[in-house]
Amino acid sequence: WWTGPKTNPNPRLMSVAGSSTGMLRSASVKGNINLSKTSSLPRVQGLILYSPGHVGVYVGGNVAVDNRCTGQNIKVQPVFGGRYRWQKWFKLPQLRYPGTGFVTCNGGQYYYENGQYVAGTTKSVGGTVYKFDASGRLTSGSVPASARAASAAAGVYRRVLQVGLRGGDVLALQRKLTGLHFMTADNCTGYYGPITKAAVLNYQRKKGLSATGIADLKTLSSLGL
């Protein structure tokens, strides 16, 4: 998947092996998209969109992001009313999607209720009334810091960590493993290299987890991340 500006996409945010059809088959939560019925696509950011031989990412607000050909930049187009005809949606097994609570996505605040973000409405949460536009983005009301912290602690949109990745989540993993004496503090760099892989592998073996050296969601949950 991609991060960074459209003119310089970085495909290293998450690596998912397999064909588009294989990804669809492995998904346990999925459904059909009826392009004449917007309600056929759940209001969930991070859903994977499928058409034969291709996948994209739904970022909410009727917007799909995909990269169709080698050498081309990212395409950002509507799902409904756009030129590309998506046929199915599914949840990526490597991610944990939101349940209920505030979520920050693309710099905006959204409120999820029972697995979907609310849109085009007002909502009373904890005695405070919030207003959300048609795309689900918060337009009035300030989300309390405690709610933002709870959302972050819930680990929504966590990614599987493996060799080659960088980021704050990698650093948090390294610090946790250091605290458990599987690696040393001088190796807490935020980069997932051979040392981190070996530490994860040893932790997985000790805990009776699948020993792959990849910090999957089960491993991260075991570590409290």
One digit per residue, the tens of pLDDT, for the chain of length 225 reads 444 554 554 444 445 556 888 889 888 899 999 999 999 999 999 999 999 988 999 989 999 988 766 556 678 889 999 888 999 999 987 777 888 888 877 768 889 998 999 999 999 888 888 999 999 999 987 776 665 555 544 445 567 788 888 877 788 899 999 999 999 999 999 899 999 999 999 999 999 999 999 988 788 888 887
Collapsed DSSP state (helix, strand, coil) of residue 69: coil
Residues 33 and 66 in one domain: yes
- Report yes or no on 105 lying in a domain: yes
Report how many domains make up the chain. Answer: 3
Domain containing 41 equals 20-90
- Report yes or no on 96 lying in a domain: no
- Report yes or no on 142 lying in a domain: yes
Residues 172 and 111 in one domain: no
Q: Report d(CA 67, CA 82) in Å as an integer.
A: 15
**β-bridge partners, 49:** 56, 89
**Contacts of range 17-21, beta carbons closer than 8 Å, 24 or more positions apart:** 19/53, 20/50, 20/52, 20/53, 20/54, 20/55, 21/52, 21/53
CATH (domain of 109):
2.10.270.10
Residues 39 and 86 in one domain: yes
- Report yes or no on 163 lying in a domain: no
Predicted TM-score of the model (pTM): 0.63
- Report yes or no on 26 lying in a domain: yes
